[in-house]
Chains A and B, each alone.
Chain A
Amino acid sequence: MKNEITAAELLARSIAAQGIGLVTTVPTPRLRPLLEALAGVDGVRLVEARNETAAAGIADGYVRCSRRRAAVLTDGYGRALSQMSAVTNAWADKMPLLALALGDDRPPDPNKGVDRYRFDQGAAFQPVTRHRTRLEDPEGIPAAIRKAALDTAGGRMGPAYIEIPLGLLKRTVTAAADLPSPPEVPPDRTLEPARLTGDPAAVEEAVRLIRKARRPLILCGAGVKSSGADGELLTLVGQYRLPVAMTMAGMGAVPVSHPLCLGGPSYAAGEVFHVAIKEADLVIALGTAFGGLEGFGLPPLWSGDISFIHVDIDPLQLGLNVLPRVSIRGDVRTVIGQLLQSLKAHGFAAKPEWVPWNRLLGNLKYARRERLDRNAGLKTDNIHQGALCRQVGEIVAERADTVLVIDGGNTPLYAAMYAPNVRPDQVIFPFGMAALGSGLAYAIGAQLAFPEKQVILFTGDGSFLYNIQELETMCRLGLPVTVLINNDSAWNMIRAMQDMFYARNFVGTDIPGVDHLQIAMGFGARAERVSSLEAVPAAFRRASRHPGPAVIDCLTDKVNTPDALISFALVEFQGVLRYFSPLLFLKSMWLMRDVGIKRMAHMAGYIVKALLRINPGARRRKP
C-alpha cells in the first residue's frame, strides 16, 4: 500500500522513530510545516524557547541529565549559528545532541559572492560535530536521521548537525506504508553505551601493572558516569584499596566522602591531587580524555614517570595526550568488570605497601578540608563563596531527588572545591568548554527530563544574565527551578587575574549594581536576596515551595578567590607565564595586601602545599 505524505511529516516521523522525546525550538513561519508535523506525532514534546541559543541549550541539558535523546530545531542563517554554543558544549563533552536547522535551498557559493545568504552553513558546524548531513531528497530522510542518531551514540558520542533545505519541506513523498512510525526506539529509552569488551590480553597486562604498582591511582572521567560504571568502580576501589581521583567532567563519579576518594575533582582537590599526580607510579585512567582541565596528564604538573593504563570507548582518545603503557578500548563498566575478574583469578589482594600511600593521601585530603573550612569561615562583608557552596552541597546531598546545575567561572570551581557528596547523576556543567551562561537553559532541560525532581541552578552573577529571557520559558512551563546566584558583582575569575598580575587594573570585570531581584520579578519569578549564610536555608525552603521559578540572590564577597584557580591557571598559561612582567607582579602583590593577611596566607599555603608539595605534617601523621 502506498500513501503520499509531505517531507515535513516524514521528517517528523523519522525524528520520533529515533526515540527523540523532546524537540526544542523557536517557531518561525518557515518552520511552521515541520512544527505542525511534529506536533502531530506521538511521543514528541515540542518546547519553545525565547532564542535559539537557549533552545539548543535546553535540549543539551535534557540529554545530559536524562541520557535520553533530544533535538533542537531552528530556522537557518544566524539563527542556526546561534545553536553553536550548545552544540560545541555537546561536542566537547561528547553528548549526542541532534541539531537541526533550516538551510538555503541553493548550494553554498564557494566564491563567497554578494548573495551572502549562500554561505556554507554546514561548514561552520564541521569542527564541533560528530556527524553532518544535508537532507537533499525526501526519500532519504528516514535513513539520514537514523544514521545521524547512530553516529552520535554508541562508540563515540557527540552532536550531529542536520540541515534541512527550506524547499524540501514543501515536497511530498510517495512512500510505502512501512514508514518509520514511532516508536522504533521508545522515547523514554536512555542511551545505553555500547558494552564493548576490552582486549583480554590488554586487560591481563593492566592487571600485571596493577599488581606491580607501588603507588597506584585511579582517575575517573565522564566516561565512568556515561557508562554507568560507578557501582563497579566502587567495588574496584573498595576491594583493592585503590585511591581514586576524578576529573572535572567526572565530578560525582565517586562520593567525596569515600575514604579513598581524594576529594573534589581534579585540581580542586588541591594538594592531595598534586601530590598524587606527582608521586603515583601507575594511573588507571577510566573514560577520560586527559584534557586541559587535568593538565593533559603531562609534565610539568604531572610526573613524567607515570605508567598509564587508559580505558576509553573512543580509540582516538587513547593516547591523544598521554602515551599509555596499556590502552584498552572498551566500555568502562565492562572493562572494570574484566579487571575485577582477572584480579580475583590471580588471587590478588591490596598490597601492604599501598597503606602508607593511601594514608598520605587521606591525611592530605582531610588537611585540605580543614584549611578550606577555615578559609570559608573568614570574616567577609557578605557571604563567603565557599561557605555558600557548602550550604548548597548539603541541600543537594540531603535530598536524593535534587539535580544541581552549575554555571559560571569561579562558581563551578568553588562548587568543585567544596564538593558536595553527590551521586553521578546529580551534577551537570559543561566542563569541556567551561562556557558561561548555559545554566538557565540546562536547568530547564533538567526539569523537563525529571519533572518530579528538585532542580537547583547554582550560577554566577555574570552567567545568570546570559539567558535571562528563559525565565519566561520557566514561568510559561511552570518549572519550579530554584536559582541561587553567587553574586559577587564581577566576572571574578578574570578579575582575580587583573588583581594578581595587572596591579588592579580592573577593566571590564566589575558588574556592580545589577538588581537581579527586580529583573527576576519582572519576569514573574519569585525572588529574594540574602546577605548572610544563616538566611540561605530558609530562603531555599521558601523558594522550593514556590510552584514556579524562584531566584535567590546571594550576595558574596568578590575579594575571595578560589585557591585551586592557581593550578588551572598554570595549565592555561603554560609556557606564557614568563611573559608576565615581574615588576607588575610585585606591584600587584603589594596592592593586594589589603585583602588581608589571612587570605594571603591561605593562598601562600596553597602554593607551598600543592604546588611545591611541602607537607611534612601529612607525611608523618597517622590517620
Chain B
Amino acid sequence: MRYVSGGELLVDCLRGHGVRHIFSIIGGQMGTIYDTVGRRPDIDVIVPRNETSAPLMAAGYIATTGRPAVSMATVGAGVVYEVGGLTHAWLNYLPVISIAPQVQSWKMKPHQESLQSCNQDEIFEPITRWNAIIYHRDRIPQLVDRAFREAYTGVPGPVHLDVPVDVLFQRKLTGRGKRARGLAHALPAPILPGDSTALAAAAGLLADSQRGLVLLGQGLGRKGRFPGIVQLLNRLGLPVLTTRYSAGVLSRRHQAGAGLALLYTGTEAGRALINRADALLIIGADSESMALLEGCPGSGDRPVIQVEIDSQAFLADTRVPLLADPQSALETLILRAPGLAARAKPWGEEFISGGETAAKPDPGPLTAALQQAAGENSIIVADGSTAVRHAAALLQDRACRDLFLLDEREALGAGLPFALGAALGNPDSRVTLICNHSALLANIRELSPAGKLGLNLQMIILDDGATAPLAVDTAAVLKGLGCRILTADHAGRELGLTAILTGETADSAARAAP
C-alpha cells in the first residue's frame, strides 16, 4: 500500500493495456500524469509541436503496429487543436485513446468562465465511439478499461476521456491489486466463430456462385486487425478488392489480390467488371465499400454476404449478415464451400487481368522514386489525391509492408504526422511519405521534434498543380527543418523533390521497443 495519485493510477492502467507511447503536449492539470511517466521506464511521452498532430501520430502508430497509443491534450486550449486530428482517426476506424484533463469536477460543467475550459466532452461526442467524464478517482481503472473496450470492440474508432484535475491529483492509499485492472485484457482481435445458420447460408451462396468477389475494408488485415486473413483469402480463391482502409493488405502479388477498389471504380471498364460479379462477400464494410455498392449495383439479384464482428455494421442491402470474426468466418467458408477456389480460378484470372487493363497504373514520373521506396520492409503513406493515385497504381504490383492512402478531404496534411507515428512504431522499417507541397506544409513543424527524436522519414513531394504556387522554396524549408534534399527536380514538374529526415539521435529504436 502506498499513496497513489489519480494521474499515476491512470498511467498504471494505460500500461496495463499495453500503452508504450503517449502523444501529448503538457498542461498544468496533467502534472501527476507526466510525473509518473517520468518515473517509469516503460512508458514515454512523445511531444509534437501542435496538439492536432498528437492523434494523427497515434493513428499512424496504431495502424502500423497494432499496438495501442494515447493522444493527450490539455484542457480546452489543447483539446480544441486535437479534435481536428482526432476526426481523422474517427473517419479511418483507428482506435486512438484520447484523454484530456478538465478543470475541477465541481466547476467543470456547465461552463462557468473557468480559464481555458468549455464543455469539451460535447465536442468529442460526434467524433468518438464513446466518451465519458471520470468524476471519481476510484473509477479510473474501470473507465479506462471501458474506453479500450469501446475503442476496440467491433468496428474500431477513437474514444475520449475527460478527467478533472482534482481526480488526477487526488492521492489515496492504494494496494497493488486495485491498480492492476486491464493487465489481462486481450486486445484487439477476439475469436468469434460466428453464427452457424448465417455461415451455412453464406457457404451455400458462395457454392452456387460463378463469379464471387471479395471486398475487404475497414482496415482488416492490417497489424492487430486479423492479419491472418490474407492467407485465408488466398486459399478461398475469389478475387479480392481492397478499399483504401485496407490498402496494401493484398496486392496483385498475392494470388487472390485484385488490387485497390478505387482503381476499378474510377473507370467505366472497372465498374463493368465489378458489376459482373454474381456474389459479393464484404469483409468489413466501410465508407468506400458503401459507395462502391451504390456505384456498382450489379444486376438486381447479386447477393451480398457481409462478415462483421459488429452487428451494427450490417448494411440494409446485405442478404446474409454474418456475425463472426473474419478469420473464423473465412476458415469455415473454405471448409464448407469445397472446390470454390478451383471453380473460381478462371473468373479470378479474368477479373485480375481485366483489372490490369481497366485500372491502368499511371505512376508517371514517380516511378523511379516509388520503386525505390517500395520493398518488403517499407511503409508508404500517400497523402492527397494525386499521391494516392500514383501510389495506388504503382504499388498494387510492388511489395510494401504497409500502404496507407489518406483522403485529403478528411484533413489537410495528415500524412506527415501519421508517417512520423509509423516511423516511431517501426524503427526497423523504411517509412516514406508521398504528398504535395501543400499537404507537406500544413503540419511541417513536426519535422523539428521528429528530428530531435531520432526518427527517419523519406519524403517524396509532388508538384501536382493542385494549389496556387507557394511563395516558399520547399527545399529550403525542409533544409531549415534539418532535412537532407536528395533530388530537387524543378524542371521535371510533377516530381518536385525527394528529401529525407535523418534523426539526430539513434535512440528511436530504444524508444519504440514494445
Contact = CB atoms under 8 A, between A and B. Distances in A.
B148 interface: no
Nearest to B76: A433
A468 B45 contact: no
B91 A524 contact: no
Interface string A486-502: 00000101100110011
Interface in B282-328: 285-287, 290, 312-313, 315
Given A117-B91, A506-B38, A28 B408 contact: yes
A177 interface: no
A590 interface: no
Interface string A104-122: 0000100111111101110
| Residue with the greatest number of chain A CB neighbours at <10 A, chosen from B35, B52, B77, B408 | B77
A42 interface: no
Interface stretch (A140-148, A183-191, A300-308, A566-574): A566-574
| Residue with the greatest number of chain A CB neighbours at <10 A, chosen from B27, B472, B482 | B472
B87 A465 contact: no
A576 B104 contact: yes
B50 A573 contact: no
A124 B480 CA distance: 37
Contacts of B90: 116, 119
A522 B155 CA distance: 43
A476 B437 CA distance: 15
A116 B287 contact: yes
Contacts of B155: 114
Given A124-B123, A524-B473, A26 B35 contact: no
Contact of A291 (B115, B169, B481): B115
A53 B52 contact: yes
Interface string A81-95: 111110110011000
Nearest to A30: B409
A523 B477 contact: yes
Given A114-B286, A115-B290, A321 B441 contact: no
B106 A575 contact: yes
Interface in A262-301: 289-293, 296
B89 to A, nearest CB: 9
A508 B81 contact: no
Contact of B115 (A293, A515, A576): A293
Contacts of B117: 292
A78 B26 contact: no
Nearest to A476: B471
Interface stretch (A44-52, A331-339, A446-454, A593-601): A44-52
Interface stretch (A380-388, A434-442, A607-615): A434-442
B5 interface: yes
A523 B480 contact: yes
A123 B104 contact: no
Given A51-B443, A573-B165, A84 B84 contact: yes
Interface in B130-167: 155, 157, 165-166
A103 B410 CA distance: 11
A518 B477 CA distance: 8
Contact of B47 (A115, A473, A501, A508): A508
A434 B80 CA distance: 12
Given A78-B84, A291-B113, A469-B441, A508 B470 contact: no
Contact of A79 (B39, B112, B412): B412
Interface string B408-447: 1111111000000000000000000000001001111100
Nearest to B130: A112
A580 B118 CA distance: 25
Interface in B462-480: 466-468, 470-473, 476-480
A342 interface: no
B443 to A, nearest CB: 7
A562 interface: no
B411 A573 contact: no
B31 interface: yes
A292 B479 contact: no
Interface string B69-113: 000000011101101110110111100000000011010000111
Contact of A108 (B83, B126, B285, B410): B126
A509 B26 contact: yes
Nearest to A524: B472
A575 B166 contact: yes
A29 B25 CA distance: 33
B166 A571 contact: no
Contacts of B399: none
Interface string A54-66: 0000000000000
A557 interface: no
Interface string A149-164: 0000000000000000
A436 B77 contact: yes
A27 interface: yes
Contact-residue size bin, chain B (C-beta under 8 Å from the other chain): 35 or more
Given A51-B412, A507-B37, A576-B104, A289 B81 contact: no
Contacts of A519: 448, 477, 480-481
A321 B34 CA distance: 32
Contacts of A123: 122, 125-126
Interface in A498-554: 498, 501-502, 505-509, 511, 513-515, 518-524
A339 B482 CA distance: 61
A433 B77 contact: yes
B309 to A, nearest CB: 12
Contact of A82 (B39, B91, B411): B411
Nearest to B408: A28
A581 to B, nearest CB: 7
A75 interface: yes
B41 interface: no
A144 B45 CA distance: 46
Nearest to B172: A579
A579 B49 CA distance: 30
A507 B445 contact: no
Interface string A441-476: 000000000000000000000100111110111011
A585 interface: no
B171 interface: yes
Contacts of B387: none
A616 interface: no
Contacts of B45: 507-508
A574 B482 CA distance: 43
A320 interface: yes
B340 to A, nearest CB: 27
A78 B35 contact: no
| A-B CB proximity, top 10 nearest | A522-B480, A292-B115, A82-B84, A476-B471, A78-B411, A507-B38, A435-B77, A78-B87, A291-B113, A579-B169
Given A466-B50, A469-B443, A575-B104, 10 more contacts: A27-B468, A123-B122, A293-B115, A475-B472, A476-B471, A507-B26, A515-B480, A515-B482, A579-B169, A581-B171
7 contacts: A85-B80, A117-B91, A437-B50, A468-B444, A502-B34, A508-B24, A568-B115
Interface of B: 3, 5, 24-29, 31, 34-35, 37-39, 45, 47, 49-50, 52, 76-78, 80-81, 83-85, 87-88, 90-93, 103-104, 106, 111-120, 122-127, 129, 155, 157, 165-166, 169-171, 218, 285-287, 290, 312-313, 315, 408-414, 438, 441-445, 448-449, 452, 466-468, 470-473, 476-482
